[in-house]
Amino acid sequence: MLDLLAYDFMQRSLLAAAMVGGLCSVIGVFVVLRGLAFVGAGTSHAAFAGVALGYLMGWPPLLPAILFGLATVWITGWAEERGRMKLDVSIGILYTTTMALGILFIGLMKTYNAEVYGYLFGSVLSVTPEELQIIGALSVLVLGLLLLFAKELYFIAFDQEMAEASGVPARQIFFLLLTLVALTVVVSLKTVGAILVFAMILIPASTAYQLTHSLAALTLYSAAIGILTSVAGVVMSALWDVPSGPAIVLLATTVFFISVFFSPKRVRRARLAHSH
Amino acid sequence: MSDPREPIIRFDHASFGFPGLIALKDISLDIYEGEFVGVIGPNGSGKTTLCRAVLGLLAPVEGHLHIFDCACDELRCHHRAKIGYLPQKGVVDRNFPVTVLETVMMGRYGALGLFKRPRRKDYDIALEALAQVGMESHKDNALGHLSGGQQQRVFIARALAQQPKVLILDEPTTGLDITTQHNVIELVQHLHDELQLTVLLITHDINMIRSRVDRLVLLKTRLFAAAPPADVLKPEILHQVYGKDLVITEKDLVIVEDYHHHH
């Protein structure tokens, strides 16, 4: 296994996995607490449509991916705020529409393009130095903003109206959160793929949710679980020659089920039920 | 009526809602510093709208609203952080991963403003707020593990951590057993007396608060009365609002049919 670490591509993959795992799992805390799980799924498919358009037109794929992702979350947030539509309905419509666009763009390409499918299923082992730089820069940006606005983000996740009533610019913070979700999804596309990025956002935070009653601890546990399962998933992927995205996600899911089983919350619930 | 005191909150012919769906119409009402005001009225009478307006979550569609001598037609005036709020609340998600102290610390976030991290002083204020509601020994407990009454105390502490001048409570006793309801109202009365807070308390339970409040505000889209309880709880006024004959006994306020039934 140590031989593997000598390869440049392996070093890049592990670094990319650690960054993406950490980023997804930290933003995942706010996504899970604020009930935005479906937004993560919708955004990743919208971003994938952007990637497909990029390849079709010969543009750098991440640029239209960011635009598609941002457009999706902003339209969704706006529709919910106006009371026009529930979040899950508008994201459901955009999710399927952008997926249809993605398939259309792929269909319009004259030749088979394996790279596009890399964004759908993830191929962390083929991350290039340039892509690693982009992942690094966007990770620093998103994590920096999360840290800067952490107390406001926690507050709106817990109770947005209360936050607004006590003078927090809750609306702007909510749109910031949506924007950061979109950026995280785009950063992670190449590593875990459009289909599995959603799992990387949800699973570490949901696992940590089983283990603690403190917001601060939740965030730390989630980050640790995200980074460790991503790195371990890449190692397994290289050792056993299996695709990296599924390796990471299946490992994270296994940890999730173990945490549910040993959750102090579950034990407490069982005790309460027993005592009544 | 002239009053030598300056009002802390002044509604001046203010209406709230949307064109075609006015929740509160033409409200003129002064609330003075240190007053304990009960807000009553049937369901859908605009009680919560009144709170949301004072909190800056709604702007008047007509008229004006002045808070702390500031024309707050603009929402999110900086004075809003001086108003503590206990929202009407369903049961908290029992698994929401937040400790009691983390919950109360959120009361500091609005006052702190963006980009500022809580300091020692903010933790001290939060702990003091917890002590004021008698919950300091629970500071590291999970919010979800507390009883309904204890959770209300924690949410009141969160409002107190803002170091407010005004405390607004929207049906704080809903869903609590009778003893706990009484304890929560006792606590509010105590905080009003001790901290000289101006209190706006929305409730359906007129009997619980009528001996405690300075004034009752009776709403049904319009303002029907804003006066000491004895002047508001008159059968003819209540009939206009509740559409039923209500009778005031020594201690209670009863619907006439039930009253005759029991006597």
A97-132: per-residue pLDDT in tens?
Answer: 999 999 999 999 888 888 888 888 888 888 899 989
The answer on pLDDT for B201 being more than 60 is: yes
Alpha carbons A17 and A132: distance in angstroms, whole number: 10
The answer on pLDDT for B90 being more than 70 is: no
Contact A165 B112 (CB under 8 A): no
Measure the N-to-C terminal CA separation of chain A; round to a whole number of Å: 53
Contact B81 A162 (CB under 8 A): no
Nearest CA in chain A to B78: A167
- Report pLDDT for B253: 63
Distances (CA, A) of B26 to A192, B51, B65, B68, B215: 58, 16, 11, 20, 20
- Report pLDDT for B78: 63
Quick: pLDDT tens for A143-153.
999 999 999 99
Alpha carbons B25 and B15: distance in angstroms, whole number: 4
- Report pLDDT for B38: 96
Alpha carbons A125 and B231: distance in angstroms, whole number: 79
Contact A163 B115 (CB under 8 A): no
The residue that leads in pLDDT, A196 or B94, is A196
Nearest by CB to residue A165, choosing from B57, B95, B144, is B57
- Report pLDDT for B73: 58
With a pLDDT cut of 90, the percent of chain B lying above it is 52
> What mean pLDDT do residues A19-40 have?
93
Q: With cut-offs at 50, 70 and 90, classify the pLDDT of residue B104.
A: very high
The residue that leads in pLDDT, A188 or A195, is A188
Pick one of 3.30.1780.10, 2.70.150.10, 3.30.750.24, 3.40.50.300 as the CATH number of B7-232. Answer: 3.40.50.300
Could you tell me which residues are beta bridge partners of residue B18?
Answer: B21
The answer on pLDDT for B262 being more than 90 is: no
Show the CA angle centred on residue A236, arms to residues A235 and A237, nearest 5°. 90
> What mean pLDDT do residues B82-90 have?
82
The residue that leads in pLDDT, A245 or A142, is A142
Interface of A with B (CB under 8 A): 33, 148-149, 151-152, 154-155, 158-159, 161-169, 209, 212-218, 265, 268
Nearest by CB to residue A214, choosing from B87, B102, B113, is B102
The burial class, CB within 10 Å (0-12 / 13-18 / 19+), for A270 is exposed
- Report pLDDT for B20: 78
Residues of B in contact with A149 (CB under 8 A): 114
> What mean pLDDT do residues A28-46 have?
91
Q: Which residue has the tokens 């006024």?
A: B237
Q: Where in chain B is the domain with CATH 3.40.50.300?
A: 7-232
From the CA of A121, how many Å to the nearest CA of chain B?
A: 32
- Report pLDDT for A276: 53
The answer on pLDDT for B233 being more than 60 is: yes
- Report pLDDT for A22: 95
Residues of B in contact with A265 (CB under 8 A): 95
Nearest CA in chain B to A218: B97
- Report pLDDT for B263: 56
The answer on pLDDT for A222 being more than 60 is: yes
Nearest CA in chain B to A144: B115
Least confident of B61-70, B137-146, B240-249: B240-249
Cα dihedral A175, A178, A183, A187, rounded to 10, equals: 160
Alpha carbons B85 and B160: distance in angstroms, whole number: 9
The answer on pLDDT for A1 being more than 70 is: no
The tokens describing B238, both together, are 């209540």
- Report pLDDT for B39: 95
DSSP conformation letters of B33-56: TT-EEEEE-STTSSHHHHHHHHHT
Contact B80 A167 (CB under 8 A): yes
With a pLDDT cut of 90, the percent of chain A lying above it is 57
Quick: pLDDT tens for B148-174.
889 999 999 999 999 999 999 999 988
The ipTM, to two decimals, is 0.84
Quick: pLDDT tens for A50-78.
999 999 999 999 899 999 999 999 998 88
Nearest by CB to residue B97, choosing from A149, A166, A213, is A213
- Report pLDDT for A44: 92
DSSP conformation letters of chain B: ---SSPEEEEEEEEEEEETTEEEEEEEEEEEETT-EEEEE-STTSSHHHHHHHHHTSS--SEEEEEETTEETTSSS-GGGGGEEEE-------TT---BHHHHHHHHHHHHH-TT----HHHHHHHHHHHHHTT-GGGTTSBGGGS-HHHHHHHHHHHHHTT--SEEEEESTTTT--HHHHHHHHHHHHHHHHHH--EEEEE-S-HHHHTTT-SEEEEEESEEEEEE-HHHH--HHHHHHHHSS-EEE-SS-EEEHHHHHHH-
Contact A165 B95 (CB under 8 A): no
- Report pLDDT for A49: 95
DSSP conformation letters of chain A: -HHHHTSHHHHHHHHHHHHHHHHHHHHHHHHHHHT-HHHHHHHHHHHHHHHHHHHHHTS-THHHHHHHHHHHHHHHHHHHHTTSS-HHHHHHHHHHHHHHHHHHHHHH-SS--HHHHHHHH--GGG--HHHHHHHHHHHHHHHHHHHHTHHHHHHHHHHHHHHHHTT--HHHHHHHHHHHHHHHHHHHHHHHHHHHHHHHHHHHHHHHHTT-S-HHHHHHHHHHHHHHHHHHHHHHHHHHT--HHHHHHHHHHHHHHHHHHH-HHHHHHHHHHHH-
Average pLDDT, chain B: 86
- Report pLDDT for B56: 81
Contact A167 B110 (CB under 8 A): yes
The dihedral of CA B128, B129, B134, B136: what is its sign?
Answer: negative
pTM, rounded to two decimals: 0.88
Nearest by CB to residue B95, choosing from A149, A165, A265, is A265
The tokens describing A195, both together, are 């289909």
> What mean pLDDT do residues B182-196 have?
93
Nearest CA in chain B to A213: B97
Domains and CATH numbers, chain A: 2-270 (1.10.3470.10)
The residue that leads in pLDDT, A219 or B72, is A219
Nearest by CB to residue B97, choosing from A152, A161, A209, is A209
The residue that leads in pLDDT, A84 or B97, is B97
Nearest by CB to residue B98, choosing from A158, A161, A164, is A158
The residue that leads in pLDDT, B68 or A225, is A225
From the CA of A136, how many Å to the nearest CA of chain B?
A: 24
The answer on pLDDT for B11 being more than 70 is: yes
Report the candidate in B40, B48, B54 with the shortest Cα–Cα distance to residue B225. Answer: B40
Q: With cut-offs at 50, 70 and 90, classify the pLDDT of residue B82.
A: confident
For the packed helices B100-112 and A150-165, what is the interaxial angle rounded to 10 degrees?
A: 80
The answer on pLDDT for B97 being more than 80 is: yes
The answer on pLDDT for A136 being more than 80 is: yes
Residues of B in contact with A215 (CB under 8 A): 97-99, 102
Contact B106 A154 (CB under 8 A): yes
Could you tell me which residues are beta bridge partners of residue B29?
Answer: B11
The answer on pLDDT for B256 being more than 70 is: no
Interface of B with A (CB under 8 A): 52, 55-57, 76, 78, 80-81, 83-85, 87, 95-99, 102-103, 106-107, 109-115, 117-118, 141-145, 162
Nearest CA in chain B to A35: B96
